[in-house]
Structure 1
């Protein structure tokens, strides 16, 4: 345990010392914020306002802001853990593994040090993003999330960070150079916003694509966060039209369906736990086989 903690401390220092790496780990979330602020946000607010005459535009804007920030938090849980695993690829490429193995360090604590430090990075960065989002929504829209939604969101952040870091460990186990790792970071950072239905609402997808996206863990993790961020705002703007609430919940990913099956929140939680356990085991086994 002492060895694992020492390696975690070293990997955390390596990640946070590289300010550019920290910035690029948040690039997907920053891109979403800019896309919404500069291009997508106004059109989405106009579209919903037109369909809900009499509802104050400020309330509609709050719903869209809450929806957008839930996507930002979700993307952060994916990209930061992946970026933190760059230490693993760099150590492999530079032959630093051999230096570690010269000392009396077994492979298991070494693997645990890489995977756990990446998970800690994801949790720290995602928690920071969650706090920033809550404060931003309060400062800009004048709406402060309740204690319950904030605490549940924090729990979902931890769950998503663990699950997506485990998936990232599996993917990174195939990377042999820093350049390939950087390319993977770029691809994942770009695609996550789409497969999590964060860049555009799921209602904009063709039905077949929407079914596929809804079956993926990224959209389902986003669903959990969207419910905490945006359910109250949505209920407020559709108080006089329950049909509109149901339509917007499914259209903006607060409720997900695969065909005629509506994805339950409890299923998503167990799904993410299963991903954490399965891919932590597979990823750790593959990383262990590379250390020689």
Structure 2
């Protein structure tokens, strides 16, 4: 299986345009932030923190959530090409088990997404250091890495399940465009979650990627919210709700532990559904 993972990773990075566009969205969103979004956070919080630093961390968290969706789906494009060229059938005619073939695609997608996400995180920290004169502490860095891994795991499971229903490059291109457009809204990057209608928020908060973005924001924006401890509680809650850092759950708010479990369990469910789909295909054949 390791050889298949290496093969799929090499195929991904061999396509220079695919690699370029995988990183391009991060650069575009960061550029748009400095052109349009910097300085947009309410001046009420400026008495306690640097609002621009808070918003930039908010943006990086959202980009990480988007990357975990887009890069895994892009990586699974290798499977679509293999299916079209009947390479997948060649795999099944060898001693390699079907589980190993599946693991080769999923393992490569996770590795590629982790690479792009960590690159984005490091790029963001470099910009923060030179632009705002601060840098993330090591413990927070490790926490963010763990959250990235959880996020990539969940989204790779969902993207793989989607890929199983695609049988042509044309359909793959359409799905990629659709997912790419929706991911920015789901992650609350194009429009802050709190600005959306309540009925929309009540739906997207059940999307694992939305919860993952919330977890990443909690970690990346923790220092800014700690500095706001002297601010009115109502103001802190308003900022957190508007920026999609927290979501209501019953009479309270979903805790970090609940969000982590939700994202992890959703990934497990998606993988089980993918296994069921593959098993059903085998029985039909």
In the alignment, does 2:4 pair up with 1:13?
Answer: no
Indicate which of 205, 208, 224 corresponds to 1:214: 205
Q: 1:260-288 CA deviation, whole Å, 9 max, x = no partner?
A: 44111111111121122221232244356
Q: How many aligned residue pairs are there?
A: 283
Q: 1:127-169 CA deviation, whole Å, 9 max, x = no partner?
A: 2212222222122111211122111111000000011000000
After TM superposition, give the deviation of residue 256 of structure 1 in Å: 1.2
Residue of structure 2 equivalent to 1:89? 80
After TM superposition, give the deviation of residue 85 of structure 1 in Å: 0.5
Indicate which of 31, 37, 57 corresponds to 2:34: 37
Indicate which of 53, 64, 75 corresponds to 1:62: 53
Q: Tell me if structure 2 keeps the 8 A contact 1:156–1:225.
A: yes
Question: Which blocks of at least 5 consecutive residues in structure 2 are unaligned?
Answer: none
Q: Tell me if structure 1 keeps the 8 A contact 2:8–2:108.
A: yes
Bigger shift: residues 147-156 or 119-128: 119-128
Residue of structure 1 equivalent to 2:119? 128
Q: Tell me if structure 1 keeps the 8 A contact 2:144–2:219.
A: yes
Following the alignment from structure 2 to structure 1, what is the Cα–Cα distance between the partners of residues 48 and 256? Answer: 29
Following the alignment from structure 1 to structure 2, what is the Cα–Cα distance between the partners of residues 78 and 34? Answer: 20
Question: Which blocks of at least 5 consecutive residues in structure 1 are unaligned?
Answer: none
Secondary structure of the corresponding residue to residue 197 of structure 1:
coil
Secondary structure of the corresponding residue to residue 215 of structure 1:
coil
The TM-score with structure 2 as length reference comes to 0.91
After TM superposition, give the deviation of residue 113 of structure 1 in Å: 0.9
Q: Tell me if structure 2 keeps the 8 A contact 1:202–1:252.
A: yes
Q: RMSD value over aligned CA atoms?
A: 2.2
The TM-score with structure 1 as length reference comes to 0.89
Structure 1 residues 138 and 227: CA distance shift in structure 2, 3 A? same
